[in-house]
Amino acid sequence: MEIMGIQIRTIVQDNVARRCDGCHGVIDGTPWRINLLDIVAAEKPVGWAERPMINPGPFQFDGDPACVRSWMAGKGYLFCRRSEVREIMRPISIPADRLGLCDGIHRDDHEFIPA
């Protein structure tokens, strides 16, 4: 392999870091990202020794919405049937210590199903 005119014989192939969080395949081109953003700010920031309740991301995927749904299922999230997979998803607290994800665009009640 040659980099900037210098022959490097130890590198056989480049490492690809852009992988889909759903199917773990290599992402060709620009990844499609999702952020989990709450509409209400926390009372205080999480301390250095604590963990936040949810990692806001960004999480990157290829263009297939099924990859996003499989990632949600792997994390134990529920998905609102009235929403679509979008760039910003809102976490909704559900009894039994679970979270549902919704795009927050519809105005009627949520209908959560397993992702």
Alpha carbons 51 and 86: distance in angstroms, whole number: 26
Alpha carbons 66 and 40: distance in angstroms, whole number: 28
Residue 14 lies in a domain: no
Sign of CA dihedral 39, 79, 60, 75: positive
User: Which residue has 């809102």 as its token pair?
Assistant: 90
Residue 10: predicted pLDDT:
73
Q: Is the pTM of this model over 0.75?
A: no
How far is CA 70 from each of CA 25, 43, 91, 101, rounded to the nearest angstrom?
A: 13, 32, 17, 13
Residue 8 lies in a domain: no
Residue 43 lies in a domain: yes
Residue 60: predicted pLDDT:
93
Give yes or no for a cis peptide into 58 (omega within 30° of 0).
yes
Residue 38 lies in a domain: yes
Write out the residue range of the structural domain in which residue 60 sits: 31-114
Residue 98 lies in a domain: yes
Residue 72 lies in a domain: yes
Assess contact for 79 and 72: CB atoms under 8 A.
yes
Residue 61: predicted pLDDT:
92
Residue 21 lies in a domain: no
Alpha carbons 50 and 27: distance in angstroms, whole number: 32
Residue 12: predicted pLDDT:
59
- Confidence at 21, pLDDT banded by 50, 70, 90: very high
Pairing of strands 2-3, 6-7: antiparallel
The rounded mean pLDDT for the chain is 84
Residue 16 lies in a domain: no
**How many domains are there within the chain?**
1
